[in-house]
Structure 1
Amino acid sequence: MVKPAIVMMSKFKTPNAKQPSASGWQVINYDKYVNYMDRQDAKEISEYDLEKHSNSRETHWSGNKTLTYLGDPQKTNNTFTKGTPSLSMADVESMKDYFSRAQENGSPLWQTVFSFDNAFLKQQGYLSEDGKLNDVPIKHATENAMTVFMEEMGFNDTARWVGAIHYNTDNIHVHVALVEAESSREIIESGKYKGQRKAKAPKGTFKKTRSTFTNTLVDRSQELTRASNLARNQIREPFKQLKLKRQVSVRGQIKELVRQLPDDRRLWRYNMNAMAPFRKQIDAITERLVDQKYATALSELKLLYRQEESFRKRLYGGTNNYAEKQLSTLKASLGNVLLTNLKKEFPKYNPREKGHGYYHPQKILVKSKLISDLKYSLRETKQDFLNKEKHRQLEYQQGLDLSN
């Protein structure tokens, strides 16, 4: 299993939960919590790192505790927030007050951690061999990611976050904490969590947040643009211009496909259920034509997809089928182009009558000749009739003249 280069974890805490103490369970008090986190053993052991406790029983952190932890000088060089890459001590105290007010107003606390494989940071040039970190791009990536997170969650304009880069574990990581001074979250009206704010974020929100963070740090635009241009400009667009009736190598396959496709041409879309029985035939035609005409572009495109898949495995770990997904998308796109061109080149004879099939040029020529011959025959018969009638009239006139 490939070790992921960047890991994102996130969870939320409610402001009214209890924590264990010598005298039993008690509600978290911000001031006491600051004192608790200021203990020397707490500074030496990162006992509240999400990386180490993501599977443990959920506890609930207060704002001041979080700020004290984030700003511990043994763990970080500085704290930061949107638009401010380094908070002063006065700024940190102001942020503590803000977090306390958010707790008093019932706002949940959202916590996010972005953790790095240090070897990856070195490969990307963010971490020197002597351990010096270029934290500017990491803070920029955090700001971009939190902007997306806030937009996706629909937070109001009182939401604020603070972050800090920590060095106290084997993996450099970024802690981020976010609250709303005036909560925009709905209150749960029944059940186990009655009275608490709804704070759970959708999976799609995490995915977009992580992608934004990663894409800010790792620019893959050049590779992705090249792949997009190959797929669109060197394969799909030229494929649109092909005259299918002239493709001798697949002529028989095309005729057989057209014969079998549904009469209702509105169903001629590759991903529609009605096309399921015909996709193998469609794929066989498109693959053969692409292999014959665009093999070089396809070969390079597949290589770029495999390289991107390998890079994403390095970023996120685990399995990744990026190349397969992209090639499937291309296959569907070419399938739709093929079906569209079939509609143009094989127009239906009579769409209201099932079984009429499609126009056949040779039959049309034969029918046209018969009609032309019939018209000629009719014209000839009429002329004969007129000639005979005129002759009869002449004979009649001559008879009258003789009788006189």
Structure 2
Amino acid sequence: MSFGFLGIQFGFALQGGFMSRIFQTLGAEKDAIPMLWIAAPLTGLIVQPIVGYLSDRTWHPILGRRRPFFFIGAVLSTLALFFAPYSSALWMAVGSLWILDASINISMEPFRALVADKLPDSQRSYGFVVQTLIIGIGTWIASNLPWFMTQLGVSNTAGPGVIPDSVKFAFGIGAFVLFSSILITILTTKEYPPENLEAFQEEKEKNRGFLYGVFEIFKNIVSMPKVMFQLGLVQFFSWFAFFTMWSFATPAITEHIFGATDPTSLAYNNAADSVGNYLGTYGLTSMFFALTLAMITSKIKINRKLVHMLSLIAGGIGFISIYYVKEAWMLHISFSLVGIAWASILSMPYAMLSSSVNPKKMGVFMGIFNMFIVLPQILAALGGINFLYKLLFGENVVFTMVLAGTSLFIAGLCTLLITNKAVTHDG
């Protein structure tokens, strides 16, 4: 039921690892990059709660509750991912990112709800960790695809304003994997129908209409459980850190480690491929860390809060260490620590959240919860990254990674606010 996340992560990894490279190739300045990303989180802010709400109220006799949204999102995401590197102007690349992120969100949020739908509380840490294991595999492979293409002889350079063929091939492969893996989940997974289907249909007919839906989403936001808000603070600082990485890892590392600043040069494109390779390391590490957690959580109960806090601190150390790296190979160590945080971010908060909300509203609450993911990205894109790293550390673009590490340390400290043992420990 989580296999489709392999394809979703292909989309996210290619988007996170190479859209900034595409933007720079099309003429974007470094400080302008976060603003070019803003359409993605703004769309997520709107799409995620709506999709969650609609999926809670959907039942198809063949496709079930969540799978119709898997399919719609898969079709749109595949098209956007395939065409993104063929953008001939900056506004086209920004538009492709906007459509891609919105479409991936249509599929992704119901996947989170599906795990909570089908597993009892005692197995949810295990379920979300297995999901994270699949995400780690996707991150590692997708992040290395342009490098793989280059090794196979595909051109890694192009004229000014043209995306190299290595990136185009990588995005094309990613589009195929995205669609096919989600299709496998759709074809092989069964969903539980509502306990009383007749009452479910009557409730749906009685409470229908756009304004009612907006009112229900707003009411659920206002009445969210206390634990959800506490987890939201942790997510806020966690995702500020990773949005900073996705926006600035390529310009920061190509400049700080490789001394390459010209997006049309072979040196820059080779360095950008290497950045993808290092980003793949955090996906590979998250895979092994998730595998370790999967083995542990299948046998014993864990303290979710403690695991998450220590993982976030490890990731913070990893980001900050990038500033002190002298040899490029050492970045594998830095991003290995980042991968530990990534694995935990994708599993522990959702396991804790699913233990604290009404199962009948799992989709809408998962969507609302992800507002705490997109709000920090919007803040970062509106100038938060540029303002904070220059104010706190200095003008060198590598200080964006130090800012990311600091944000993860704050996220780790915020976990101390969560004191409800019913959600911090496996049931």
TM-score by length of 2: 0.26
Q: Which has the higher contact order (CA 8 A, sep 6+)?
A: 2
Answer 1 or 2: which has greater strand percent: 1
Bigger-Rg structure (1/2): 1
